[in-house]
Structure 1
Amino acid sequence: MALLADGMSRLLIDGKLAAGGAGAFATVNPATEEVLGEAANADAGDMDRAIEAARRAFDDTDWSTNTELRVRCVRQLRDVLQEHVEELRELTIAEVGAPRMLTAGAQLEGPISDLGFAADTAENYEWAQDLGQAAPLGIPTRRSVVREAVGVVGAITPWNFPHQINLAKLGPALAAGNTVVLKPAPDTPWMAAVLGELIAEHTDIPAGVVNIVTSTDHTLGAMLAKDPRVDMVSFTGSTATGRSVMADAAATIKKVFLELGGKSAFVVLDDADLAAACSVAGFSVCLHAGQGCAITTRLVVPRDRYDEAVAIAAGTMGSIKAGDPSKPGTVCGPVISARQRDRVQSYLDLALAEGGSFACGGGRPADQPAGFFIEPTVIAGLTNEARVAREEIFGPVLTVIAHDGDDDAVRIANDSPYGLSATVYGGDAQRAAVVAARLRAGTVNVNGGVWYSADVPFGGYKQSGNGREMGVAGFEEYLEIKAIATAAN
């Protein structure tokens, strides 16, 4: 049976697919502005039932202690997603506006495969550690440390890489023994709803263990953060919303994982191959129309080669046209919505007001009468103090900034409220590594290295969030630590 065969998605609550209490809402193709279909629109009552189902499944079943069941279920989910990968690919291109080329990686196939890492980790994990016998306070005692599931996890996810982020939360949270309520962004409801359909019909995941609640009502996310039945909130999104999540969760002192914004620097040292470095920087900021929190959007280059660097980046980005994401060669598709397109455009207007100029781009492409497109744009002539150099734009926009040597480049890169990612290019690999070590960022790419992988933890410093997703560290975010001391007679 085809996924979403009737053009309508449903909620998954307590093992059953259901309509939303607030009716339905349209989901739109951002490349054409055409309505694709409808998604169930949950209300507060639906969210309450989802939380209650997750609480009951955690408290009253053996899900949290039955590692064999969990491992089997996570692998079942991986396998059924792989069986439907071609349908999922077309849905992803249509709803997310993701270029077809990216669905072979982080937009689809990568995160599906990564579920295997979560299952393998749970299967081989050292859940209990024997610390041996000692005599604290003179009392002979056998000690052990046990790791166990946190409980009910509220997962709140964005629209830019929905499969990657939904599955990077679901996989380890479930494998670790938690139950989950997933609240996805209303811009891409189908990407989460198809998971509910497949879980309900093709896996042995027990009722209530996974609940998926799509809605246009953003206050339902706040319900997850505030509700005392929820033990942890795992949030990916903007820093502003992350602050609200943390504040809402404070009342119950629940565990909070935050993966937030970025304004990452691409540092080019004076011994680097300038043409190669600036071309890579320009290309990477065009991928998926720049809608990635870890994309390097500040190009920091030697001052005496500034004009050359701008010209190279503009040459690369000017040759990349925003276009139809369904075509195999498209790199830069649309941004997700008219609201987001207008937001990006407001930053481009601000760049001019701040005294900058465009080396290429600067607005909507003339050859795209429909769709939420923005031209790949290079901003020149501004310092790191400009707002467009400090605030996350989330579009295909690169700001070029001059530096006066390695120390100045490090200062500029670190002079940001964010610390999610960074790149360093240099001719001397050891020198580049020294600069990379000084950067306050959670992931650093040196001379083209790739950090994205299931076994590598991802997250940021400062206002880019707290905690890590993926890797063993990401798995352990969903665990509590219990020390057990037994008197030894």
Structure 2
Amino acid sequence: MTRLLINGQLVDGERTFPSLNPATGEVYGHAPEATTAQAEAAVAAARTAFDTTAWSTDVQLRIRCLDQLHQALLDHVEELRELTIAEVGAPRMLTYGPQLDDPVKLVRFYADLLRKYPLTEELGEVEIRGQRHRRWVEKEAAGVVTAIIAYNYPNQLALAKLAPALAAGCTVVLKGAPDTPLTTLFLGQLIAEHTDFPPGVVNVLTSSSADVGETLTTHPDVDMITFTGSTATGRRIMEAASRTVKKVFLELGGKSAMIVLDDADFATAAMFAAGTICSHSGQGCALTSRLLVPREHHDELVEKVAAGLARIPLGDPADPKTFAGPLISERQREKVDGMVQRAVAAGANLVTGGEKVDPGFFYKPTLLSNVDPDSEIAQDEVFGPVLVVIPYDDDDDAVKIANNSVFGLSGGIQSGDDERAIALARRIRTGTFSINGGNYFAADVPFGGYKQSGIGRESGVPGLEEFLEYKSFAVVVRS
């Protein structure tokens, strides 16, 4: 039985809720249902650990504990790999990258960064009214952090919050996604059994109830909220946090565009577009789900992308050869299918896909052409293997369409001319951008978005600084 982590102890919930295997639709296991009282206990433990222990000031203790967590992850990575495949529906090949192995590197990155990151910055002396004043800045932990994550990449999302928050000296209450609770609880078990984190520094909860999330985001003893999920939920969290003016980090939705320029290798561009939208069956906020193509080459590119999608069969995520697995739930599959059917009814052309595949929660890779850039399917996040093709007239038109979104998380360009592509990319209002397949996803690269894709950055040095407060000092220099 998996258990919650509260104040250094692994404890049961009052009851459990099921976690399904999305590849079969069957119950895979049961997770403890945290109560609001347990959520309050976790916040109290985190508050006490921050206020009364040396955690926030003892850099060497933090380094040692992060080193231990990294080693525990390495020692148990194969157990976590199988759990991630079964509960998340993540294809095995993805666990050797962004679903597991890459997130483990985040812990190593922040442990090493903490060894060299300057927590004090001297600003020098100045003379004011005949006296010399020495000024400096010290960087302190933000305090107690509530971390709430989504289901699609639970290891990445949890560790991208835990590692920098803990490195900064914060204490954390981590709430796993109700669709993938067991994966997150496994992290709590590793922390409890294989590290020296003081009691209360890390607390891990799971719940299918909105009440627990409400408690964690409105509690007056929580100083900061870091959330990854839908923009709609992010808005509610931001509103709730405003009541006590909490610091907020939000990593929200995306509707990113990939622009194929007229000088691109169309075969390569089509292959890249097809592979991207099928990665984890489209369940990625930064995936490029709008394909912008030169109007005169529209039909040619549609044909090539359709052929590329046909070469990506759905399959058992445990099979090393599977690239596209299931969606997370029947609820999500119904949402995806509903958006596709409404798009077709509104005039989009269904080129391929648009079908459910049983058993499990599979959905065929789907390509829609003749899509109105202002339509629901072109504006709203689908979170499924659905790619829409939109023609453009020239480079300026491509930029206009790409920026025609409330989101601004990511994007991509395919071109035979790097300088032209880079110049165009600089005009797209997004936080990350891929040029000719360039991979920005790494522990040292900041990740986040513009507009309604969120606030702040995860990973890299900025990921640590999200969890720091800056305190400025000045003292009169005695002669």
Structure 2 length as normaliser, TM-score?
A: 0.99
Gaps of 5+ in 1: 1-7
Distance 1:80 1:199 in 2: 8
Is the 1:383–1:402 contact (alpha carbons within 8 Å) kept by the matching residues of 2? no
Q: In structure 1, which of residues 385, 388, 398 is the aligned counterpart of residue 374 of structure 2?
A: 385
Distance 1:101 1:31 in 2: 15
Distance 2:131 2:152 in 1: 56
What is the match of residue 13 of structure 1? 6
Query: Is 1:399 equivalent to 2:391 in the alignment?
Result: no
- Letter paired with 2:467: Y
- Quote the offset at 1:383 in angstroms: 2.0
RMSD (CA atoms): 0.9
- Letter paired with 2:422: A
Distance 2:419 2:29 in 1: 53
What is the match of residue 468 of structure 2? 479
Query: Is 1:371 equivalent to 2:360 in the alignment?
Result: yes
> Relative to structure 2, which stretch is displaced further, 41-50 or 378-387?
378-387
Distance 1:131 1:382 in 2: 55
Distance 2:125 2:370 in 1: 66
Query: Is 1:416 equivalent to 2:405 in the alignment?
Result: yes
Distance 1:138 1:333 in 2: 71
Query: Is 1:120 equivalent to 2:112 in the alignment?
Result: yes
- Quote the offset at 1:222 in angstroms: 2.1
Distance 1:271 1:371 in 2: 41
What is the match of residue 352 of structure 1? 344
> Relative to structure 2, which stretch is displaced further, 114-123 or 53-62?
114-123
Query: Is 1:225 equivalent to 2:214 in the alignment?
Result: no
- Quote the offset at 1:429 in angstroms: 1.1
- Quote the offset at 1:313 in angstroms: 0.8
Percent sequence identity over matched residues?
53
What is the match of residue 3 of structure 1? none
Query: Is 1:247 equivalent to 2:239 in the alignment?
Result: yes
Distance 1:147 1:187 in 2: 36
Aligned length: 478
- Quote the offset at 1:427 in angstroms: 1.1
- Quote the offset at 1:107 in angstroms: 0.3
- 1:445-487 C-alpha deviation (Å, 9 max, x unpaired): 0111110011100000000001000000011000000001112
Distance 2:375 2:390 in 1: 10
Distance 1:464 1:139 in 2: 48
Change (3 A) 1:202 1:364: same
Distance 2:271 2:30 in 1: 40
Distance 1:316 1:444 in 2: 23
Query: Is 1:30 equivalent to 2:22 in the alignment?
Result: yes
Change (3 A) 1:307 1:137: farther
Distance 2:443 2:29 in 1: 33
What is the match of residue 64 of structure 1? 56
SS at match of 2:2: coil
- Quote the offset at 1:138 in angstroms: 4.4
- 1:211-237 C-alpha deviation (Å, 9 max, x unpaired): 001001122122222111000000000
Distance 2:373 2:319 in 1: 36
Which runs of structure 2 are paired with 1:20-419 in the superposition (5 Å)?
A: 20-21=13-14, 23-365=15-357, 369-419=358-408
- Quote the offset at 1:200 in angstroms: 0.6
- 1:53-110 C-alpha deviation (Å, 9 max, x unpaired): 0000000000000000101101111111111111111110000000000000010011
Is the 1:270–1:405 contact (alpha carbons within 8 Å) kept by the matching residues of 2? no
What is the match of residue 442 of structure 1? 431
- Quote the offset at 1:137 in angstroms: 4.8
Distance 1:302 1:137 in 2: 65
What is the match of residue 4 of structure 1? none
Gaps of 5+ in 2: none
- Letter paired with 1:10: R
- 1:222-266 C-alpha deviation (Å, 9 max, x unpaired): 222211100000000000000000000001111000000000000
